[in-house]
Structures are given as structure tokens and as C-alpha cells.
């Protein structure tokens, strides 16, 4: 492979990595954890099916993949949920797929 082809292949690889900010996360596990740990509180505080108004309201706090992870860590800490960083990443991937659609 020549240099040009290597550069093009690298750009495609970088582009696909940027397309999913939570690459490698387990979306299905994130959905289960979300249902178990997040839905009741979010439904009570924000309403909507499965607490979805927390994610779709106009004044939502989360505006980027990083802020989503920060918010998940804040909830985990304040509510003493005992989640691991990889659990938070799985939830972030689930929420991103269903609500945020960050690239």
C-alpha cells in the first residue's frame, strides 16, 4: 500500500471512530442499567415515558458526549449508585443511541 492509500485509510478509520463517541460500550447492558437505576428517578422528576423528558427538554444540561459522561458520574456519586465507569459508559451509549445522537 502506498502512502496516499495509508493516509486515506487512516482518515476513514478516524472518521468512523469519531462517529461513535462511545465506541465499544455495551448498549444493551446500558439499557438494562438505565431501566434499573435511572428510570424511576427521572420519571418522578421529569416525566415522560421512562423519564425521557430529562433527555429531551429544551433546557437539558447535556449538550456533548463529555457532558453526558459527567452527568452520569454526578448522578452515580450523589445518589451512591455504585456504578463503575464502564457502566456509566454503557448507559451513555444507550442514551446517545436513543436520545442524544452525538457523533
Number of H helices, E strands in the chain: 6, 0
What pLDDT is attached to residue 8?
A: 55
Give pTM, 2 decimals.
0.80
Q: What share of the chain is helix, strand, coil (3-state, %, to 5)?
A: 70, 0, 30
Q: Which residues of the chain have pLDDT under 50?
A: 6-7, 14-17
From residue 57, give the alpha-carbon distance in Å to each of 25, 34, 46, 69, 88: 25, 18, 9, 18, 21
Length of the chain: 103
The answer to whether the beta carbons of residues 25 and 92 sit under 8 Å apart is yes
What pLDDT is attached to residue 18?
A: 55
What pLDDT is attached to residue 2?
A: 59
What pLDDT is attached to residue 50?
A: 87
Amino acid at each position: 500500500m502506498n502512502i496516499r492509500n495509508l493516509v486515506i485509510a487512516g482518515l476513514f478509520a478516524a472518521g468512523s471512530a469519531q462517529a461513535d463517541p462511545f465506541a465499544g460500550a455495551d448498549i444493551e447492558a446500558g439499557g438494562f442499567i438505565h431501566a434499573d437505576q435511572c428510570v424511576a428517578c427521572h420519571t418522578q422528576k421529569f416525566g415522560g415515558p421512562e423519564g425521557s423528558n430529562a433527555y429531551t427538554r429544551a433546557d437539558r444540561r447535556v449538550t456533548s458526549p463529555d457532558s453526558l459522561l459527567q452527568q452520569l458520574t454526578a448522578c452515580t456519586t450523589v445518589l451512591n449508585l455504585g456504578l463503575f465507569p464502564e457502566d456509566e459508559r454503557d448507559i451513555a451509549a444507550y442514551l446517545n443511541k436513543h436520545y442524544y445522537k452525538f457523533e
